[in-house]
Chain A
């Protein structure tokens, strides 16, 4: 299992656009990928699950990937987070 923590820097929080980018990025991986916030966890391949958490700017989130390609999935999340200024 791979884990990584981020602080959301996108000014609108996880609105439709950043959510779309993250969900599209992890969907092709076999591993289960989740996003944890405020003691809750959501399936990161589910746009409604992620948006439903109402993650705002400045929030701490924990991304977890579990499966054969977990490391690659986390690397992809990291790339999108930084490239699109979503979190750091």
Chain B
């Protein structure tokens, strides 16, 4: 009989196939005393050579599926397995009269602890590799079966608690049609892999491993997070239909990849991508991004042991700008504080972190760090079409101060003989209601605005959108929000500047017609939303929606506005 699970859909699409469970084996170890150390050492050596054979096979598989680069990790795993220090530590304990399993676990704990205590983040993460190898060896000693996903030779949906890098490296793309995991969120390893392979994935189901048996037929709908277990033939039929529709829509959208975004009355607007690193560019390109409307620089700062150097940042910005060539690239300066933290810098506990010392406020408090980023950006400016954006600007003084620091660094760099583009732009992220109200005053001083809707809505409505009991107040179509957005776009145009948007709302089909009518110049969103937005805009007349704006701005509720949009965008 069919049963159903719901999780978080993190990679779109529908898959129908048999379940393949990735089991986490029971590796409980007991301490036993042994009489014949020589036999025990022989047993250990034999387990080691079995594990080595297995690793070598995985290494070859990974090289075939993912390339030599990804396979190198397993060559390192083999060296850990055969490490003479590990072996002598284990054989030493066996000679003292304990069993191989216990000796191995003790040695593994010692080495893992050594890596975990190191200062360097990279080295700390190597503890996971040591654990991966010693677990494999332990399983061999205990005679416990470990799932071998590299042996899969028919279409399957992987069911797992979570996906580890070593498990995913063994998956054969040809046969794996989807993922369902117990834990994880949008950014977990399995979610990223699902989107990269373009197969549906549902994470965070909590109970998939308890309810889905090996080999049973499963339907995964990665669009809404539904998982159907042992579905009836009629349900399979329904989903076959949905799957086909999804493929057709995808092909239909693909027509728009290499086209500029144009409304039905021939007006061009830019639809760009939000990215966090150069790694996101292939997906942005695949979806036909006309620019980068938001390059978040936080990831350069996270997972590090110290502030990234000027050279390090220069490389990262240069890589993105070079790849984007003459397409506009908006780089946001560091937006940290609030809920994002760094290993090497502690922000004080604040009562209201989102109203506290974050983004530009923190940058002013750490001027050396901020100037380093500005210098790296200026030096990168000659490699592409750079637009520098300051986040969380509330007052004119803040914008002036940030720009002043930028100009000072530019002078210094020029004096030192560095080439700097004379066409780069300086703008601000518009996410504080105070700035939206006086956008006309800002417009005289900035080159552009980019509206950050996530924060603009939460600050305007005074509602934390992560707090479920007030999340109903997160209303992109609320009259107050739309009036602020309208004010910002009009103010920019009055001064001959451009206005963009880089929040979730830029890709929201219920808001896009209004934004187009208001004259928004640039829409920036996650790469996977670009083609849908471009297709929608192609069916909308800009002039017609411009005509609706006065009427929309007089409406009193989100509901009324949404109804209007639905009725008029058919």
Contact = CB atoms under 8 A, between A and B. Distances in A.
Contacts of A54: 118-120, 123
Interface in A1-39: 12, 15-17, 19-20, 23-24, 27
B120 A43 contact: no
Interface in B112-132: 114-115, 118-120, 122-123, 126, 129-130
Given A16-B126, A54-B123, A47 B118 contact: no
Contact of B126 (A49, A51, A56): A51
The dominant DSSP class at the B interface is helix
Nearest to B75: A20
A20 B118 contact: no
B51 to A, nearest CB: 15
A46 B83 CA distance: 5
B257 interface: no
Given A16-B126, A54-B119, A54-B120, A48 B76 contact: no
Contacts of A19: 76
Interface in B62-98: 72-73, 75-76, 79-80, 82-86
A15 B122 contact: yes
A17 B86 contact: no
B85 A43 contact: yes
Interface residues of B, number: 22
A35 to B, nearest CB: 13
Interface size class of chain A, counting residues whose CB lies under 8 Å from the partner chain: 10 to 19
Nearest to A47: B79
B239 interface: no
Interface string A50-74: 0110101000000000000000000
Nearest to A45: B84
Contacts of B120: 54, 56
Nearest to A17: B72
B86 A48 contact: yes
A49 B79 contact: no
> For B76, B86, B129, which residue has the most chain A Cβ atoms within 10 angstroms?
B76
Interface string B241-253: 0000000000000
A27 B96 CA distance: 27
> For A15, A23, A48, which residue has the most chain B Cβ atoms within 10 angstroms?
A48
B83 A48 contact: yes
Contacts of B364: none
Closest 8 A/B residue pairs (Cβ): A46-B85, A47-B79, A16-B76, A20-B76, A46-B83, A49-B85, A48-B83, A45-B84
10 contacts: A16-B76, A16-B129, A17-B72, A43-B84, A48-B114, A48-B115, A48-B130, A51-B126, A54-B118, A56-B120
Interface of B: 72-73, 75-76, 79-80, 82-86, 111, 114-115, 118-120, 122-123, 126, 129-130
Interface of A: 12, 15-17, 19-20, 23-24, 27, 43, 45-49, 51-52, 54, 56
Given A16-B76, A24-B75, A48-B86, 4 more contacts: A20-B75, A23-B79, A45-B84, A47-B76
